[in-house]
Structure 1
Amino acid sequence: MTEHEKDLFPVWGEWYPVDTLGEGSVGEVIRICRSTPAGPEYAALKQITISADTGNFRFARAQGMDASCIRYFFRAVLEETMGEIRMMEQLSHCPNIVQLEDYLIRELPDGWLVLIRMELLKPFINRMTDLLMTPSDICRFGIHLCTALEACEQAQIVHRDVKPENIFWQEATDTYKLGDFGFAHYLQRPTEEKGRAGTLTHMSPEIYAGSPADHAGDLYALGIILYRLLNDNRIPFLPSYPGPFTPGERDHALLRRLRGEDPPLPSAADCASNPACTQTRLGVPFTEKQRPLLEQLARIARKAILADSAARFPSAAKMRQALESAAGKVMENTDYE
């Protein structure tokens, strides 16, 4: 924590730092706390530093900027960050979007410090890897994230980077939420082009080929996450769990999908169709009653990431309805090949 940041506390007059939750190239996320009559209340404080510090100044000068140009450039970055904040406010009605509680901006000698207070949640990546998810858990996760993407579609907002690291879990209510709408997207390399939107592991073939990011790309990325949850956390075309693989084999698996090859059904489909199988290869147990749900989830996940975008779900609402129907056992005879 810098001296500028230490001077801020207590922030908003009553919040004090507890510990650091994570750090990035443009700031950090801190757990903060305040006292209330009902006991301590916690929140997450995201700090974004927008400044021409030594590293950024060197990058900027290499791009042909003088001091006045650098200040002008970083002012534009601040405006883009404010746009991201307004976007979060626009989505605040959706229970499956991380809730923004407040924000403030402090001017620094060489830029600005943006403070964003949000609800305190657990990273989904921990839920995904540390606590094995049952078929019902996976279905609930998919429905919640589809609801978040529906809200984005209605607001004409494209997330651009749906992946486990940008999803969070509220344990008390078992609610999954989409967050990190790119507050740092424009800041990580402030003097370089942004390039393709998203992460290769979750990118659709059409975006990889050069098409602009859109809602279909966000939904495809969610499909990849669902596929991984139903495929022992592995992306398509990797050897079956627990078989080993090399970095080269992982790259080849990525390219097969990105270049337009349709994936096979995730491994959960094999488990569901085998009467003798009572758990996934990763060791997640499922009951006989959950077997049809597991099979339907596998087919839904595959449909969501078919190479032909016209063969996928046309909207987050349609995918949510498919998941809800699978949970209600209404779709047992529906073909998702």
Structure 2
Amino acid sequence: MAARRPTTIQLDRLTAAYELGEYVASGGCGTVMMCTRRGDPEGKKYILKYMNLDELTTNKANGAQREAQLMKDLNHPNIVTLHDVFECDNKLHLVMEHCDKGDLRDRISEKKIKKRLFNYSLIRRWMLQLTKGVKALHDEGIVHRDIKPENIFLTGHTDDIRIGDLGISRRIEKDQRAKTRIGTPRYVSPELMKGIPYSFETDIWALGVMMIEMCTLQKVTVKPRKKTKRFCCFTTEVTVVDIPEIPKQYGTKLVAIAKTMLKEDPSDRITASQLLHELTNLPLTPDE
């Protein structure tokens, strides 16, 4: 898709505040560009996400507006920051934090090519940051619903974690359950697959799957118990058939934590608060 630079007429307020930079990408959810704040002597870079809501499907347009609203309410060091929102003529422009070190999928792929595992201290630090970000979402009543390496961004000299892409996230009440079957098949929880109303526990499952992938560089495989002509992730008959074993170099305590995140029954699954406590108390070096 060809890049379409937003016109000055549409973006008077935006272009008064920001200098538009190079084109990054275009897709079904809009155009992404770089920008800098006018008058900033350091020239700090931001991401501009530009969407013409009239050209999106209803679901994608609603998702874009929901993402903007949710991000406005969030201010956490491990969640991508939304700096500005400009909306006019049904065109939505989000100015967001630029994470300059790519995403976690890129980093996992690099390790896989080199056949080298992440070290324990990095896994521990990243999992702490991820859990703090997820806990912040849950404390605000937000279920992310699409936790996966492609939506986890890295930034800064120390590769700090930022959780992004809240396009299909949803705010729910404490005792409420969501019902929409949505998400990325490899990371969706058993209850979501089965069509059972779900809540914050579904994010913990996805976080556990992602931690297994970070530790093993392999993917957890989820398949239906019965063969069907078509399996597009949602079925009432689900079983986890392949959870790669975490290498012994990471210690027994990290393995035990992973198991608490991947309980098939969501009521048995650890919460974000409990997970943060367990990770905080992990030793700085792996136990035997």
- TM-score band, normalised by shorter chain: 0.7 to 0.9
Q: Counterpart amino acid of 2:121? A: S
Secondary structure in 1 matching 2:157:
coil
Secondary structure in 2 matching 1:326:
coil
Q: Counterpart amino acid of 1:97? A: I
The CA deviation at 1:149 is 1.2
Distance, in Å, in 2 between the alignment partners of 1:223 and 1:204 is 10
Name 2:279's counterpart in structure 1. 323
Judging changes above 3 Å, is the alpha-carbon distance between structure 1 residues 145 and 137 closer, same or farther for their aligned structure 2 residues? same
Secondary structure in 2 matching 1:150:
helix
Q: How does 1:73-92 map to 2 (within 5 A)?
A: 81-92=64-75
Q: Does 1:101 align with 2:83?
A: yes
**Aligned match of 2:253 in 277, 296, 317?**
296
TM-score normalised by L of structure 2:
0.77
Secondary structure in 2 matching 1:40:
coil
Distance, in Å, in 1 between the alignment partners of 2:169 and 2:205 is 23
Q: Does 1:181 align with 2:137?
A: no
Q: Does 1:215 align with 2:218?
A: no
Task: Tell me the matched-pair count.
Answer: 263
Q: How does 1:14-25 map to 2 (within 5 A)?
A: 14-25=17-28
Judging changes above 3 Å, is the alpha-carbon distance between structure 1 residues 255 and 2 closer, same or farther for their aligned structure 2 residues? closer
Q: Does 1:165 align with 2:150?
A: yes
Q: Is the 8 A contact 2:190 2:264 kept in 1?
A: yes
Name 1:309's counterpart in structure 2. 266
Distance, in Å, in 2 between the alignment partners of 1:237 and 1:50 is 35
Distance, in Å, in 1 between the alignment partners of 2:157 and 2:127 is 18
Give the unaligned 5+ runs of structure 1. 57-73, 186-193, 239-247, 273-290
**Aligned match of 2:45 in 35, 42, 46?**
42
Residue by residue over 1:136-164, the C-alpha shift from the partner in whole angstroms, topping out at 9 and shown as x without a partner, is 11111111111111111111111111111
Distance, in Å, in 2 between the alignment partners of 1:79 and 1:164 is 24
Distance, in Å, in 2 between the alignment partners of 1:82 and 1:237 is 32
Q: Does 1:151 align with 2:136?
A: yes
Q: How does 1:205-284 map to 2 (within 5 A)?
A: 205-236=190-221, 259-261=238-240, 264=243, 266-269=244-247, 272=248
Distance, in Å, in 2 between the alignment partners of 1:306 and 1:126 is 28
Q: Is the 8 A contact 2:195 2:234 kept in 1?
A: no
The CA deviation at 1:181 is 0.6
The CA deviation at 1:33 is 2.5
Q: Is the 8 A contact 2:146 2:183 kept in 1?
A: yes
The CA deviation at 1:90 is 1.4
Name 1:139's counterpart in structure 2. 124
Q: Counterpart amino acid of 1:310? A: S
The CA deviation at 1:134 is 1.7
Give the unaligned 5+ runs of structure 2. 112-116, 171-178
Name 1:286's counterpart in structure 2. none
Q: Is the 8 A contact 1:167 1:177 kept in 2?
A: yes
Name 1:123's counterpart in structure 2. 103
Judging changes above 3 Å, is the alpha-carbon distance between structure 1 residues 204 and 27 closer, same or farther for their aligned structure 2 residues? same
Judging changes above 3 Å, is the alpha-carbon distance between structure 1 residues 3 and 18 closer, same or farther for their aligned structure 2 residues? closer
The CA deviation at 1:100 is 0.4
Q: Counterpart amino acid of 1:203? A: V
Name 1:114's counterpart in structure 2. 92
Q: Counterpart amino acid of 2:246? A: A
The CA deviation at 1:44 is 0.5
The CA deviation at 1:212 is 2.8
Distance, in Å, in 1 between the alignment partners of 2:193 and 2:138 is 21
Secondary structure in 2 matching 1:297:
helix
Distance, in Å, in 2 between the alignment partners of 1:150 and 1:195 is 22
Secondary structure in 1 matching 2:79:
coil
Secondary structure in 1 matching 2:162:
strand
Name 2:114's counterpart in structure 1. none
Distance, in Å, in 2 between the alignment partners of 1:21 and 1:123 is 15
Distance, in Å, in 2 between the alignment partners of 1:180 and 1:144 is 17
Q: Is the 8 A contact 2:222 2:239 kept in 1?
A: no
User: What is the Cα-based RMSD across aligned positions, in Å?
Assistant: 3.5
Residue by residue over 1:291-322, the C-alpha shift from the partner in whole angstroms, topping out at 9 and shown as x without a partner, is 3x444323322331122323321x11111221
Q: Counterpart amino acid of 2:275? A: M
Distance, in Å, in 2 between the alignment partners of 1:220 and 1:184 is 15
Distance, in Å, in 2 between the alignment partners of 1:141 and 1:227 is 13
Q: Counterpart amino acid of 1:91? A: L
Q: Counterpart amino acid of 2:95? A: R
Q: Is the 8 A contact 2:208 2:258 kept in 1?
A: yes
Residue by residue over 1:182-201, the C-alpha shift from the partner in whole angstroms, topping out at 9 and shown as x without a partner, is 1799xxxxxxxx95121110
Distance, in Å, in 1 between the alignment partners of 2:221 and 2:62 is 39
